[in-house]
Structures are given as structure tokens and as C-alpha cells.
């Protein structure tokens, strides 16, 4: 239920070309990069580079834009951008600020000085969507001031499938964009960075200089994932999301929201729901712990894998159930039973931090 496939779809006949770096060079060239440009809506003006994950690509991108001593402005439609963006800006010596909505961006641009870059996130880690018209408007505002634009379109596959929008480089006149090859794509945790050729060359140089590029086996797995990518399959499964929202609102009320092709409750709202259920005013439990506790109950009792249960809490403290790829196997009733059981178990222990630890780590 994560929407994160993180597969390694190598074929048996690929293995002979992966026995060494030289074997890889003898068999493959830039096939993955060419296909990334195609999937991301690019043309002959564009090139691509693969990094080992989106977070590392942010470092290479910020170095390529030379943000040191300069300002980076981020736009989201709600929630917040991926933490790796601000962290990469800071690591590279820049300053970072974020606004919500195009009008707030307009106001921030009016007073911006020494602007290195505008980052636009069409879909945040919390799955708040900035629609295509707003992405284009934001890009025009930035370009009018001579500022380059970078799209963090990590969730491009689900955005295209659910909102019927263009691919990243066709969405707006952005200089550069990133796409995650494990988010609603059956590929490894890798990132395709595509855009204007000169910029991509700078990103590639920094990625190789600092070891941020995708290793050769990773690149071939990414290539196979892009070859097999089926937007129609994601779109078909995504049709479950809106009916699922109606069912989960019967449990969580208006706190449940549409998270693209899935349904979510923020960690803060889930904790508030649990406190109300328990008749408590406060607790030492924090939102990430609340979302993790409910998620581990769903794993143990229903076999549902969600982001908090696969090794780390994720980029957002969110109780989220995506529908691709396994939603049809679970069915609406299965979703509701699992979510209710996880949330009720959280409510039963929300005033007891030790009880929450037991839900997360076991007895």
C-alpha cells in the first residue's frame, strides 16, 4: 500500500553484461537516459542522467545551479516539499524558503534578491497536488525574473495517471525536472534527472564527482522498469481512490483526504483523532509515532505494507494507503477493516508511550 515498488526488474540475459563495469560498457550506452527523456516529455533539446535516488540527485542539482550564497524559493500546493530539497540547498551553502500557492509565490518573488532557483513540487510527499495551470503560472512568474525553474516531479507517474496531466518537461517550461523510478513505477530506488542539455551535463559532472550517480546494475534495472512502464495500469487501479475516500471518511471524517491515487490522514490529524477517541487532551506521543503505530498494527494483523513499516518513517508523518498496485487484491472492505483496526489500536494506547513502543516494536 506504499505506491513505492522498489523492484529490480533485471532479466536473466542481462546478467552477463553486469559481471563488471567493462562488461556493462560493452553492452549498454545511454539507452536509459534516452528513454527517461522520452517518458518525461522531452525532445531533442533535452538530456538526462540517472542518480542513485531522488535525495542524492538534489545535491547534484543544487551544485549545478550554484546556489552557494544565494536564495532558493520553493513552491508547494500544500504540505511541504521533500526534506532533501532544503537540506541540499543548505549543504551547498544557499538559503531556502518555501511558500504555498501561486499568489504567495508572486509576493515572495516581488521581494526576492539574488535568486538562484525556483523549485516547484507538483505533488508533495503528503500527496498535496499543485495543478498543471498553477505549475505553468509559477514557471512564468519565475522566468519573468530570469530565474531558472526545477520541478521536483518525483511522483510524476501517479500525477499523470490520476490527474491526467502531461509529463514533467511537457507540463511547463522548466529547465530541469526529476522523476522517481520507484514511485508507481516498477523500478529501483533511482532518479531520472532530465532537462536542458547544458544543465544536465553540469548535474552529471557533479553526480559523478561526488558518487551520486546510479551504479551500472541500478541503471539497467531502471531501464527495464521504464521499458515496462504502463501508465494505463496505474490509471485503472487509481480509480479506486475516490470511492475509498468515501469509505474511510466514515472512520476519520474530514481528516481523511485524497492523496492522489490513495487516501491519507496526516500524522497530526490521526493523533488528534486518537486523542478524541480516547477522551484525552494531550499525550507525549508525536505524529510520526502515531502513524507508525497504526501502520504496524495493519502489518501484523492484516499483512498491509505501508511506508512506516519498511525501515524508516518516510518524508512525511502520514497515515497513507495507496491503491497501486495491490488495491484490487485487498478490496474496499479490506482497506476499511485494516485502517480501523490500526487506528483503534493507536487510540487504545495513545496516552501510554510504552504502549505505543510495543505497537511499533512488538512485545
Model confidence band, residue 302 (pLDDT cutoffs 50, 70, 90): very high
| DSSP code of residue 16 | G
pLDDT tens per residue, range 52-111: 999 999 999 999 999 999 999 999 999 999 999 999 999 999 999 999 999 999 999 999
CA angle 160–133–142, rounded 5-degree value: 110
Domain boundary among 209, 230, 251: 230
CATH number (domain holding residue 265): 3.90.1150
Answer whether residue 312 is part of any domain. Answer: yes
Q: Is 319 left (phi over 0), alpha (psi -120 to 50) or beta?
A: beta
Claim to verify: residue 132 and residue 166 sit in the same structural domain: yes
Domain assignment of residue 293, yes or no: yes
42, 102: one domain: yes
Distance CA 280, CA 297 (A): 21
- Note whether 88 and 210 are same-domain residues: yes
Bridge pairing between strands 262-266 and 257-258: antiparallel
- Chosen domain end from 205, 230, 255: 230
Please spell the DSSP secondary structure of 328-361, one letter per residue.
Answer: HHHHHHHHHHHHHHHHHHHHHHTT-HHHHHHHHH
Among 342, 340, 334, 348, smallest CA distance to 291 is for 342
- Cβ-contact 253, 269 below 8 angstroms: no
Specify the pTM: 0.93
Is 172 inside a domain boundary?
yes
Question: Which of 97-101, 151-155, 309-313, 334-338 shows the lowest mean pLDDT across its residues?
Answer: 309-313
Distances from the Cα of 141 to the Cα of 138, 144, 256, 266, angstroms: 5, 5, 33, 31
Is the per-residue pLDDT at 3 higher than 90? no
Give the 3-state secondary structure percentages of the chain, helix then strand then coil, rounded to 5: 50, 15, 30
Helices (H) and strands (E) in the chain, counts: 16, 10
**Does some domain include residue 7?**
no
CA dist., res. 24 & res. 27, Å (int)? 5
Which strand (E) or helix (H) includes residue 288? helix 287-302
| 344 lies in some domain | yes
Q: How many domains does the chain have?
A: 2
Rounded to 5 degrees, what angle do the CA atoms 1, 257, 77 make? 105
Q: CB–CB of 76/128 below 8 Å? A: yes
Peptide bond into 123 cis (omega under 30): no
Domain that holds residue 81: 12-230
Confidence category of residue 312, pLDDT binned at 50, 70, 90: low
Count CB atoms within 10 A of the CB of residue 108: 19
Residue 3, domain member (yes or no):
no
At residue 313, does pLDDT exceed 70?
Answer: no
Q: Are strands 46-51 and 191-196 parallel, antiparallel or unpaired?
A: antiparallel
pLDDT-derived band at 311 (thresholds 50, 70, 90) equals low
- Mean pLDDT score, 229-242: 95
**Which pLDDT band, with edges at 50, 70 and 90, does 4 fall under?**
confident
CA atoms of 138 and 143, how far apart (whole Å):
9
Shared domain for 213 and 334, answered yes or no, is: no
User: Which of 193, 212, 230 represents a domain boundary (last residue)?
Assistant: 230
* Residues contacting residue 254 through CB under 8 Å, at least 6 positions apart: none
Rounded mean pLDDT of 148-175? Answer: 97
Together in a domain, 210 and 244: no
Residue 146's contacts (CB-CB under 8 Å, 6 or more residues apart) are none
Amino acid at each position: 500500500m506504499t505506491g513505492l515498488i522498489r523492484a529490480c526488474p533485471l532479466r536473466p540475459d542481462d546478467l552477463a553484461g553486469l559481471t563488471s563495469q567493462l562488461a556493462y560498457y560493452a553492452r549498454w550506452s545511454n539507452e536509459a537516459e534516452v528513454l527517461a527523456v522520452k517518458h518525461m516529455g522531452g525532445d531533442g533539446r533535452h538530456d538526462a542522467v540517472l542518480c542513485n535516488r531522488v535525495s542524492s540527485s538534489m545535491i547534484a542539482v543544487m551544485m549545478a545551479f550554484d546556489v552557494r550564497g544565494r536564495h532558493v524559493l520553493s513552491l508547494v500546493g500544500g504540505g511541504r516539499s521533500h526534506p532533501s530539497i532544503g537540506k541540499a540547498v543548505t549543504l551547498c551553502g544557499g538559503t531556502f524558503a518555501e511558500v504555498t500557492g501561486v499568489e504567495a509565490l508572486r509576493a515572495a518573488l516581488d521581494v526576492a534578491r539574488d535568486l538562484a532557483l525556483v523549485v516547484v513540487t507538483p505533488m508533495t510527499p503528503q500527496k498535496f497536488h499543485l495543478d498543471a495551470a498553477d505549475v505553468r503560472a509559477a514557471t512564468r512568474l519565475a522566468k519573468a525574473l530570469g530565474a531558472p525553474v526545477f520541478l521536483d516531479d518525483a511522483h510524476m507517474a501517479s500525477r499523470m495517471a490520476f490527474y491526467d496531466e502531461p509529463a514533467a518537461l511537457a507540463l511547463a517550461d522548466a529547465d530541469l525536472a526529476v522523476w522517481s523510478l520507484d514511485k508507481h513505477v516498477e523500478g529501483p530506488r533511482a532518479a531520472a534527472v532530465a532537462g536542458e542539455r547544458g544543465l544536465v551535463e553540469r548535474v552529471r559532472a557533479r553526480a559523478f564527482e561526488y558518487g551520486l550517480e546510479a551504479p551500472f546494475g541500478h541503471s539497467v534495472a531502471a531501464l527495464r522498469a521504464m521499458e515496462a512502464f504502463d501508465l494505463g495500469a496505474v490509471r485503472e487501479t487509481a480509480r479506486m481512490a475516490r470511492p475509498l475516500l468515501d469509505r474511510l471518511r466514515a472512520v476519520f471524517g474530514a481528516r481523511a483526504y485524497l492523496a492522489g491515487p490513495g487516501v491519507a490522514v496526516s500524522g497530526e490529524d490521526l493523533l488528534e483523532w486518537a486523542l478524541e477517541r480516547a477522551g484525552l487532551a494531550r499525550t507525549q506521543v508525536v505524529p510520526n509515532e502515531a502513524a507508525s503505530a497504526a501502520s504496524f498494527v495493519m502489518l501484523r494483523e492484516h499483512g498491509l505494507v505501508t511506508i512506516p513499516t519498511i525501515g524508516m518513517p518516510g518524508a512525511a508523518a502520514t497515515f497513507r494507503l495507496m491503491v497501486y498496485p495491490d488495491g484490487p487484491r485487498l478490496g474496499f472492505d479490506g482497506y476499511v477493516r485494516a485502517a480501523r483496526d490500526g487506528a483503534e489500536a493507536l487510540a487504545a494506547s495513545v496516552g501510554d508511550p510504552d504502549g505505543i513502543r510495543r505497537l511499533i516494536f512488538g512485545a
